Amino acid sequence: MSLIKKRMGQGNLIQRNKKMSYLKNNQNNNQDDKAQILQPSDFKGKRFILPIMVLVVCWIITYFIWNISNIRANNDLRLYFEFRAREVNILIQQRLDSYKQILRDVRGLFVASDNVDRTEFSAFYNSLQLEEFYPGIQGIGFSLIIPSDQKKEHIDSMHKEGFPEYRLLPDGIRETYTSIIYLEPFNDRNLRAYGFDMFSEPIRRKAMEVARDSNEVAISGKVILVQEIGKEVQAGFLLYLPVYKNGVSNITLIERRKNILGWVYSPFRMRNFIEGLFGEDAADLDVEIYDGKIVSAETKMFDSQSSSTEFNPPLKTSRIMNLNENEWAIVVKSTPKFMSRIDNTSTRVIIIVGISISILLAIITWLIEKRKMFDKIVDAERIRHAIMIENTNKELTRINTVKDKFFSIIAHDLKSPFQGFLSISDQMADESIEFSRVEFFEYSKLLNISARAYYKLLENLLEWAQVQKGSINYMPKDLDLTRIVSECIASIRSGAIYKGIAITNELQEKIRVNADEKMIGTVIRNLLSNAVKFTNHGGKINISSRETDNNMVVVSVSDNGMGMPFELINKLFKMEEKVGSIGTDGEPSTGLGLLLCKEFVEIHGGEIWVESAVNEGSTFSFTVSKENKQQT
């Protein structure tokens, strides 16, 4: 690859060798030596008109950029909320699926044996270790179908088995009875359910019939479990899976109803079922679960935020979960903790920077108007004032240079893109109802790209203006360059990820330099940001360093992007040249960032240069002093 290299020598921050001398000739040779002095009151009101106009325009631009940033922050939070809400539904479904599989495993025990006794059932339950791996499950049981003519024989057999107080609950005469004869763990709350006829209760019966007829796991509606005792009563539900006679067909509905033996089942207390499901960030969301599609106090089964604090959630979603002839309505709401995740840092920065630049531009404009007033007031034939005028003009020349650069950027780099920005926003305002989600996404992305570019331009303008004013402080100290580079890579990583660009950091560990941390960080961020901007999707960026013999460190940022021709390289780092380019995704560029890099590097007594070839990439390098060993 043929590389073109241009080095920029060391120099002072601001070199002004051209002196200006402004003398005003008298048009009338007959006029005496007294200068015609114009009164300041003639211009007192007029000189504030243009600065006020500049201030208002800058505030309007700041408002638009702030509004876009605010909308983006809220949209990001809404997308994250929707993701979390979907995750809630997925986690609940996954936990239900796990418990359904447990029932299938238990039914396998009955399929494998003609007669499962209590000891075998208990041993199988203990092998599952449900209390350790499946939180929320109240137990596993088996409910046996008992024809009415076999009721006495069944009770007698249970008495002989060692349960003299056993009876079928509730009392009453029914055509068919069912009884919970196995329930593990067989202690505490579960003892209350022993002998209970779940088929006698309508909600449980409906789920049992659905399971029997479908040969699938069925879920009951909202119930209060017979195990509930004390004050902490929770809503509950049950899962049922039918057990048929072995060795017979149960393909048809008639066969299933004829050959049913009973059900393996599992009872659940709702809060115990949900416990621990949503992880460490559970307090972010208020999750409510209702039995059926109707959301009401009567159908509510669970509320993760049961406190009475009044809060009107700005984000809310509701989904219906289908559960084999039954449904749950799952309502997810944002909480104050979730809403506190909105990051207002960028919007605050936009306001602060926008107001600061607005005031700065207004002051510069006012100074220019003030100069015009002085030009008309001061009589140029007075030689004794020449030195004062020359000194004033030196300062005004410097201000005028800053002003010209500012207005050049405002006129060319803000006006033209901002017209496109307004065009897009007008179209979104007028036609947003007709937009598809894809179109809305694309337009929003364009607005976001423009807003980021304007924000970056304003940021560079402010720092560049501070340099020109000499108000920026240079405070070098011994720094860990490796850490600064890592932080800079992190700050631009989102843009690189969007374009699929791989960034490789080849800096050695603990490279130390003597530099101003803010300035050197600005240089590295600008070079990395430019590399991302001018590198194609899927490209590569590499940042490396090497030490020289003259106590300097060379930092290089390389990319395999679009590169630059010789003509453009010659214009880099020159204030009077226009070098703005368009990135690979249409990102605008003013070249102001490189000017800022040059001035910051030269403040450190270093050099900055570029090596580049069209379509082969670019390498920007700069030097900075090594760590001052005498200070360590």
Q: What is the pLDDT of residues 4-44, one digit of tens each?
A: 343 333 333 333 332 223 223 333 444 444 444 445 555 56
**Cβ atoms of residues 176 and 209 within 8 Å:** no
89 φ/ψ angles, rounded to the nearest 5 degrees: -60, -40
pLDDT, mean of residues 509-530: 90
| C-alpha span between 119 and 161 (Å, rounded) | 12
- Kindly tell me the burial class for residue 232, based on how many C-beta atoms sit within 10 Å of its own C-beta (0-12, 13-18, 19 or more): exposed
DSSP helix, strand, coil percent of the chain (3-state; round to 5): 50, 20, 30
pLDDT at 238: 95
Contact 521, 555 (CB under 8 A): no
Q: Which residue has the higher pLDDT, 66 or 385?
A: 66
Q: How confident is the model at residue 555, as a pLDDT?
A: 95
pLDDT on residue 420: 57
For residue 154, the model assigns a pLDDT of: 94
Least confident of 121-135, 136-150, 417-431, 528-542: 417-431
The radius of gyration computed from the CA coordinates of the chain, to the nearest angstrom, equals: 39
Task: Supply the DSSP symbol for 507.
Answer: P
Residue found by looking up tokens 């960030």 in the block: 281
Tokens of 31: 């006029």
- Residue 183 confidence class, pLDDT cut points 50, 70, 90: very high
Query: Which residue has better confidence, 441 or 14?
Result: 441
**Cα distances (angstroms) measured from residue 367 to each of 24, 268, 355, 400:** 20, 77, 18, 9
Q: In this predicted model, what pLDDT tens digit does every residue of 388-412 receive, in sequence order? A: 777 777 777 766 665 666 555 555 4
- Mean predicted lDDT score pLDDT of the chain: 81
Q: Taking a C-beta distance cutoff of 8 angstroms, is the pair 513, 546 a contact?
A: no
HSE-CB at 433 with a 13 A cutoff on CA atoms is 1
Q: Which residues pair with 244 in a beta bridge?
A: 260
DSSP 290-315: EEBS--STTTEEEES---------S-
**What's the pLDDT at 470?**
65
Q: How far apart are CA 64 and CA 259, in angstroms?
A: 73
pLDDT over 50 (residue 490): yes
Rounded to two decimals, what is the model's pTM?
Answer: 0.50
DSSP class of 136: T
Check: CB of residue 138 under 8 Å from CB of residue 189.
yes
3-state SS, residue 384: helix
Return the structure tokens found at 102.
């447990």
CA 310 to chain centre: 27
Q: Which of 211, 215, 239, 235 is nearest to 224 (CA)?
A: 235
Residue in this structure with the two tokens 């196995």, named with its chain if needed: 182
Residue 10, pLDDT score = 36
At 558 the three-state DSSP class reads: strand
In this prediction, residue 466 carries a pLDDT of 67
Alpha-carbon distance values, 307 to 283, 303, 304, 329, 331 (Å): 12, 9, 9, 21, 16
Which residues share a beta bridge with 240? 218, 265
**Residue 146 CB partners (closer than 8 Å, separation 6+):** 154, 168, 176, 177, 178, 179
- pLDDT score of 523 more than 70: yes
- How far apart are the C-alpha atoms of 366 and 213, rounded to whole Å? 87
- Residue-level pLDDT at 89: 93
Q: Which of 228, 183, 223 is nearest to 206 (CA)?
A: 223
Of 26-30, 158-162, 405-409, 472-476, highest mean pLDDT: 158-162
Domains contained in the chain, CATH given: 4-12+41-76+344-469 (no CATH), 113-274 (3.30.450.350), 278-339 (no CATH), 477-631 (3.30.565.10)
- Structural element, H or E, at residue 211: helix 202-214
Query: What single string gives the DSSP state of each residue in 222-271?
Result: SB--TT--SS----EEEEEEEEEPTTS---SHHHHHHHEEEEEEEEEEHH
CB-based contacts of 54: which residues, under 8 Å, 6+ apart?
Answer: 358, 361, 362, 365
Taking phi over 0 as left and psi of -120 to 50 as alpha, with beta for the rest, 573 belongs to left
Contact status, residue 240 vs residue 217, Cβ threshold 8 Å: yes
Residue 502, classed as helix, strand or coil, is: strand
For residues 481 and 514, the answer to whether their CB atoms sit within 8 Å is no
**For the chain, percent of residues with pLDDT exceeding 90:** 41
Average the pLDDT over each of 222-231, 440-449, 593-602 and give the range with the smallest value: 440-449
Cis amide bond preceding 185, omega within 30: yes
pLDDT grade, residue 110 (50/70/90)? very high
- pLDDT exceeds 90 at position 377: no
Band of residue 337 on the pLDDT scale cut at 50, 70, 90: confident
Specify the pLDDT at position 322.
Answer: 93
